Chains A and B, each alone.
Chain A
Amino acid sequence: MIRKTILIAMMVYTSVNFAQKIKGSDTVLPLAQKEAETYMKSNKTAKLTVTGGGSGVGFAALVDNTTDIAMASRKIKMDEKIKLQDAGRAFKEVTIAFDALSVIVNNDNKVSQLTREQLEGIFTGKIKNWKEVGGDDMPMVVYSRESSSGTFEFFKEHVMNKKNYASSVLSMPATGAIVQSVSQTKGAIGYIGLAYMDKQVKALKVSYDAGKTYIAPSMETAKNKTYPVVRPLYYYYATSVEKTVKPFIDYVLSAEGQKIVEQVGYVPLSK
């Protein structure tokens, strides 16, 4: 009896001791959860706990040493880098998957392609009518995510050339709400993750070379890197814990792990 309790106590102790903590971006969360589940199934001794909260939360936890891996849907910012340096912690960055953003419009909209410059004009409020980009004479209704979302920042940096959104842009609390609104508003334009794409709305072809080639968003074009509005998703970890986290990260990067990436709706790393 006593031996049994000691054994259980030891098991609890070791599992607590070796549980790896993964924390950060809510975009990466569903993927990390799925990966952790399957990893723990095939690897009985491993213990992983995954929590969300946002990319910023993950980096803060990495600085405070309260997580082993920080998930992020954006690159580490300069000030976070400085904080890590001040704490004397070297870190490594691993790209684990990609997320493609589709620019969507209403199904009745004639326009089917836009350049990056046009998108910048639309979201900064310079272009206000669809006829300016070759569509019908109707006012544009621009939808974006709330400023707390990682997609908001990504779109600002990569599509809008770091300029600020116009004040007249409508901001929605969730991606689902954007799809709903765009599907019922004729002059609407918005952006969503590729995984949320459905038939209620139309995805636009996008050109990053001033209109020479237009690429439609899809799993294939995102995989072969021709589609430009793609953002990497990252894991960050301190080099001091590399030994303990390495097996899991190797699993994520393996063919099996990358299969899960596609199941969750993100774009796997191309080999």
Chain B
Amino acid sequence: MKTFYKKFSERFIEGLLMLSSSITSLTVVLIVVFLFKEGIGLFNQKPVEPGYVITINKSNKVKELSSAQIKNIYDQKITHWSEVGGTHDSIVLFQLEDIGNYYSDEQIGDNMQNLSYCLNRLVDSLPNIIAFFPDKYLAKDFKGTILEVDKVSLTDFFAGKEWIPTAKPSAQLGVLPLILGTLWVSLGAILLALPLGLAAAVYMSEIANDKVRRIMKPLIELLAGIPSVVYGFFGLVIIVPLIQKTFNLPVGETGLAGSIVLGIMALPTIITISEDAMRNTPRAMKEASLALGASKWQTIYKVIIPYSISGISAGAILGIGRAIGETMAVLMVTGNAAVIPHTILAPVRTIPATIAAELGETSNGGLHYKALFALGCILFLITLFINLTVEFISNRKKHNKH
């Protein structure tokens, strides 16, 4: 009876453990599915706000405009129809708020009952107009042409160079500057943090005596506990002006500032994990190396580092992971200008910073919302790719050794 009870309780605990691990995996899968479901929905949408139409006079030769052309027309960078394949006349811009310039309140009516009639007449009477208004006010016998706008395409999204998701009437959703910005900052961070972190880990596990180690280790681990907004503010007040002065730049909020802050943030992860891995090198191996006449440095270089390479790469992955996914600190120091970075000394905008800054005010399920989820998908894929590569490399190393 007792053994049965014991067995039962063991089974029960095993069951609990399995349940918790399967719940964790299920949550991860659910989040990923949710992320991709929302993100992919973007490509079913048009860049023009749903419920709105862009119309032109029917005599106009232009029948189709790209999202970028629409934006440039409303920004008055394109001012003549000839620039988009029409006549040599200048473009007359119209948005619904401008209706007051053409019709009085009485003509429109108290409850806007005559609005569709007014819009119809307006678009019909001005040959060079481009008008943007809700399709609700499209008259049944509408005499203008409704412009066809293509859905957001993969090339527009991935190769587009402008990220202005709130642009009206047509949102600009080019994520190339954001992807490049993220990679740029993370690359810089890891280039700074990896050598420094590795050196510190080697020192702490092999060279430092116990007393130094006992002071340094908690100190470094303390770095991981500082809230990221504190790092961000530290970066903004100390690092940003420093970079500006050192390189004599017009502006200090640069990719480099982001890299430095992220590098500092990734250090504790890299140091702690790789140090633990190095300390796990069997004593026998180290002593064998020393007994064969190898110096301390040769032992570190030839025995300890190769032995603990998988632990070191795990530390590096987690460090990169922190760098790529970090939002608040980056948001404060990189300047967040969505331009393609040509140097690390220019402002950049990263994907996590964009999501953090913009998601709060988007309308749930709208175009901008979905675009931000698509950005999340990209971020997920980048991290996945890095993880797989490092895993692959460290596996191959192990095979070579045996």
A67–B76 alpha-carbon span in the complex (Å): 40
One of B118-126, B159-167, B217-225, B295-303 contacting the partner? B159-167
Residue of B nearest to A161 (CB): B76
Residues on A with C-beta less than 8 A from B74 are: 162-164
A163–B75 alpha-carbon span in the complex (Å): 5
Residue of A nearest to B136 (CB): A82
A124–B166 alpha-carbon span in the complex (Å): 15
A187–B249 alpha-carbon span in the complex (Å): 10
A148 and B162 in contact, given A169-B337, A184-B252 (Cβ under 8 angstroms): no
Chain B, 165-210, CB within 8 A of any chain A CB = 165-168, 177
Chain B, 312-353, CB within 8 A of any chain A CB = 331-332, 335-339, 347, 349
One of B14-22, B275-283, B357-365, B383-391 contacting the partner? B357-365
Verify A56–B363 contact, CB threshold 8 A.
yes
Verify B240–A173 contact, CB threshold 8 A.
no
Residues on A with C-beta less than 8 A from B177 are: 167
A165–B136 alpha-carbon span in the complex (Å): 29
A124–B76 alpha-carbon span in the complex (Å): 11
Residues on A with C-beta less than 8 A from B164 are: 164-165, 167
Verify B360–A148 contact, CB threshold 8 A.
yes
A172 and B336 in contact, given A124-B75, A163-B76 (Cβ under 8 angstroms): yes
A180 and B134 in contact, given A139-B250, A146-B357, A164-B71 (Cβ under 8 angstroms): no
Residue of B nearest to A129 (CB): B250
- State how many angstroms separate the Cβ of B355 from the closest Cβ of chain A: 11
Judge if B228 is at the interface, Cβ distance under 8 Å: no
Verify A185–B244 contact, CB threshold 8 A.
yes
Residues on A with C-beta less than 8 A from B358 are: 146-148
Chain A, 78-93, CB within 8 A of any chain B CB = 78-79, 82, 85
Interface residue from B95, B237, B339, B361 paired with A180 (Cβ < 8 Å) = B237
- State how many angstroms separate the Cβ of A49 from the closest Cβ of chain B: 21
Residues on A with C-beta less than 8 A from B362 are: 148
A187–B244 alpha-carbon span in the complex (Å): 12
Verify B241–A184 contact, CB threshold 8 A.
yes
A187 and B75 in contact, given A82-B134, A167-B338 (Cβ under 8 angstroms): no
Residue of A nearest to B97 (CB): A78
Judge if A54 is at the interface, Cβ distance under 8 Å: yes
Number of B interface residues in the complex (CB < 8 A): 46
Residues on A with C-beta less than 8 A from B166 are: 147, 153
Judge if B400 is at the interface, Cβ distance under 8 Å: no
Residue of B nearest to A181 (CB): B253
A165–B360 alpha-carbon span in the complex (Å): 20
Judge if A259 is at the interface, Cβ distance under 8 Å: no
Judge if B251 is at the interface, Cβ distance under 8 Å: yes
Judge if A213 is at the interface, Cβ distance under 8 Å: no
Verify A184–B347 contact, CB threshold 8 A.
no
Judge if B96 is at the interface, Cβ distance under 8 Å: yes
Verify B134–A148 contact, CB threshold 8 A.
no
Judge if A263 is at the interface, Cβ distance under 8 Å: no
- State how many angstroms separate the Cβ of A26 from the closest Cβ of chain B: 10
Chain B, 132-174, CB within 8 A of any chain A CB = 134, 136, 161-168
Judge if A65 is at the interface, Cβ distance under 8 Å: no
Verify A85–B134 contact, CB threshold 8 A.
no
A181 and B134 in contact, given A141-B251, A146-B357 (Cβ under 8 angstroms): no
Verify B347–A170 contact, CB threshold 8 A.
yes
Judge if B236 is at the interface, Cβ distance under 8 Å: yes
Residues on B with C-beta less than 8 A from A170 are: 251, 253, 335-337, 347
- State how many angstroms separate the Cβ of A179 from the closest Cβ of chain B: 11
Verify A54–B240 contact, CB threshold 8 A.
no
- State how many angstroms separate the Cβ of B362 from the closest Cβ of chain A: 8
Chain A, 140-197, CB within 8 A of any chain B CB = 141, 146-149, 153, 162-165, 167-173, 177, 180-181, 184-188
Judge if B51 is at the interface, Cβ distance under 8 Å: yes
Judge if A241 is at the interface, Cβ distance under 8 Å: no
Verify B337–A78 contact, CB threshold 8 A.
no
Judge if B104 is at the interface, Cβ distance under 8 Å: no
Interface residue from B51, B236, B349 paired with A181 (Cβ < 8 Å) = B236
A180–B240 alpha-carbon span in the complex (Å): 11
Verify B136–A185 contact, CB threshold 8 A.
no
Q: Interface 1/0s, chain B 241-260, versus A by CB < 8 A?
A: 10010000011110000000
Judge if B3 is at the interface, Cβ distance under 8 Å: no
Residues on B with C-beta less than 8 A from A162 are: 74, 95, 168
- State how many angstroms separate the Cβ of B283 from the closest Cβ of chain A: 51
Verify B236–A180 contact, CB threshold 8 A.
yes
Residue of B nearest to A153 (CB): B166
Q: Interface 1/0s, chain A 224-257, versus B by CB < 8 A?
A: 0000000000000000000000000000000000
Residues on A with C-beta less than 8 A from B101 are: none
- State how many angstroms separate the Cβ of A247 from the closest Cβ of chain B: 29
Residue of A nearest to B133 (CB): A78
Residue of B nearest to A146 (CB): B357
Point out residues on A near B: beta carbons under 8 Å.
54, 56, 78-79, 82, 85, 124, 138-139, 141, 146-149, 153, 162-165, 167-173, 177, 180-181, 184-188
> Which 5 pairs, one residue from A and one from B, show the smallest C-beta to C-beta distance?
A148-B361, A170-B335, A141-B251, A146-B357, A139-B250
Can you offer 27 A-B residue contacts whose CB atoms are under 8 A?
A: A54-B361, A79-B134, A124-B75, A141-B251, A146-B336, A147-B165, A148-B358, A148-B360, A148-B361, A149-B361, A162-B74, A163-B74, A163-B76, A165-B164, A167-B163, A168-B337, A170-B251, A170-B335, A171-B335, A171-B336, A171-B337, A171-B357, A172-B336, A173-B336, A180-B236, A184-B241, A185-B250
What 5 additional pairs, Cβ within 8 angstroms, besides A180-B236, A181-B240?
A79-B134, A153-B166, A164-B71, A167-B337, A171-B349
Point out residues on B near A: beta carbons under 8 Å.
49, 51, 71, 74-76, 95-97, 111-112, 134, 136, 161-168, 177, 236-237, 240-241, 244, 250-253, 331-332, 335-339, 347, 349, 357-358, 360-363
